[in-house]
Structure 1
Amino acid sequence: MTAAAQPAASVDTGAPGDAALLRVDRPEPGVLLVTLDAPERRNSLSRRMMAALAEAISSASADRDVAAIVLAAAGPAFSAGHDLKELSAHRADADGGRAFYEDTMRACARLMQDIVASPKPVIAAVQGIATAAGCQLVATCDLAVAASSATFATPGVNIGLFCSTPMVALSRNVPRKQAMEMLLLGEAMSAGDAARYGLVNRVVPPERVLDEALAMARIVAAKSRTTVSIGKHAFYRQIEQPLAAAYDDAAAVMVENMMARDAAEGICAFLEKRPPNWNET
């Protein structure tokens, strides 16, 4: 732990006495490390886990001291997706589980959209398997680093449950044919193929995954937070628009960005050949 680092905190929204599901650390200025910490359940996205993660993302998004978020996991799995035991248990409900399933899928959709909407870039550090909604979580993050031994899959079709919600994030990250191959065959994709098709940015030896993700976060944290926030929101907005509308939107964003204090400072610093003094520091 560096001199600027702060002790780990736990995040849990379960009943009193339940084990915490997340660890939250501040390993260095501007960087928040959120670790899924339920390795015995393969860090499955249970209702409690999703609530804890949503709380952590919300808090980080509002925290002026956070510039970038690294999302990691304990144990051999990054996340095995939804908790199938939890889902199956609710088949005994009076409605066969429909209300619970609807609430669960809505909670998952909100979590993924919260990550995209956060003004802080979220970087996944994937040390093990990421399957179904776990693969969706990786695809939803802004950047991702994977261990060379990591694998990715949307295997729901193998158990009669097509990965329809993971499909949303997956199909927005990898080419159509590769997305359909993962969804229809349910086979695992290697970390190398995941990088080749755009699901992750970098593949490194397993012992370097977290360090690499933290290094990327450190680079982001050195930028203007105002500019990064403007750019992240503009990216996701324009990518869903037709070409002409995207250019209109992006042009308007550029104008507003040019009017910001950090743009004036950054350009001036570049011309004067000195480091910029961002508004946040």
Structure 2
Amino acid sequence: MACDLIVASKNARFGFPEIRIGLSPGGGFRKLLGNVGPYKLKELLWTGEFLTAEELYRAGVINRVVEPENLLDEAKALANSVVGAWVAVKNVKRVINETMARIFSHRDSTEAFLTSLLFNTEDGKEGLKAFIEKRSPRMKGR
């Protein structure tokens, strides 16, 4: 979710499975808030379920969904379609990125705090251990 433009294979799936091992996902999920809405985002984050590339395309998160064998060619074609006025492109990108940063800046510290907090809970430690051992975690709610 940290890309400027996203081309995905129609077979791709996207999700935040960290909740399944008692942890919080990284910051990419915040970018989905305006696209999928708070209720769908909560469902995704709380269940660890995945969305297809097509679902994210319809939500405006992905630029193009293509056949797997066409992925690289389509990504190159999209990149090549960006006009050569690089000073203008660079500045438009900067405005968009700075606007997004302002929108999310106050959430960064809260997210970092909560993520570190979860890593230090019994469930977070058990989740990581279970992940490494390739087994289901035994959560205790602590």
> TM-score, length-normalised on structure 2?
0.63
Ranges in structure 1 where 5+ consecutive residues have no aligned partner? 1-138, 243-281
Q: Which one-letter code corresponds to 1:193 in the other structure?
A: E
2:50 and 2:87 map into 1 onto residues whose CA distance is 38
2:62 maps to: 200
1:17 maps to: none
Aligned length: 103
Does structure 1 residue 158 correspond to structure 2 residue 20?
yes
1:142 and 1:216 map into 2 onto residues whose CA distance is 11
SS of 2:69's partner is helix
Ranges in structure 2 where 5+ consecutive residues have no aligned partner? 104-142
Which runs of structure 2 are paired with 1:140-219 in the superposition (5 Å)?
Answer: 140-171=2-33, 174-219=36-81
Q: Which one-letter code corresponds to 2:86 in the other structure?
A: R
CA RMSD of aligned residues (A): 2.1
Higher RCO, 1 vs 2 (CA within 8 Å, ≥6 residues apart): 2
2:92 maps to: 231
Q: In the TM superposition, what whole-angstrom CA distance separates every residue of 1:157-184 from its partner, at most 9, and x where no partner exists?
A: 1111121433334436543233222111
Q: CA distance change for structure 1 residues 197 and 240 in 2, over 3 Å: closer, same or farther? A: same
- Given that 2:13 and 2:52 are in contact with CA atoms closer than 8 Å, whether structure 1 keeps it comes out as yes
Higher helix share: 2
Identity within the alignment, %: 35
Whichever of the two has the greater Rg, that structure is 1
Q: CA distance change for structure 1 residues 178 and 223 in 2, over 3 Å: closer, same or farther? A: farther
Superposed displacement of residue 143, structure 1? 1.0
Q: In the TM superposition, what whole-angstrom CA distance separates every residue of 1:234-279 from its partner, at most 9, and x where no partner exists?
A: 112234558xxxxxxxxxxxxxxxxxxxxxxxxxxxxxxxxxxxxx
Superposed displacement of residue 230, structure 1? 0.7
Q: Which one-letter code corresponds to 1:223 in the other structure?
A: G
Superposed displacement of residue 232, structure 1? 0.3
- Given that 1:175 and 1:197 are in contact with CA atoms closer than 8 Å, whether structure 2 keeps it comes out as no
Higher strand share: 1
SS of 2:58's partner is helix
Q: In the TM superposition, what whole-angstrom CA distance separates every residue of 1:99-136 from its partner, at most 9, and x where no partner exists?
A: xxxxxxxxxxxxxxxxxxxxxxxxxxxxxxxxxxxxxx
Q: Which one-letter code corresponds to 1:179 in the other structure?
A: L
1:191 and 1:141 map into 2 onto residues whose CA distance is 15
SS of 1:152's partner is strand
1:237 and 1:167 map into 2 onto residues whose CA distance is 18
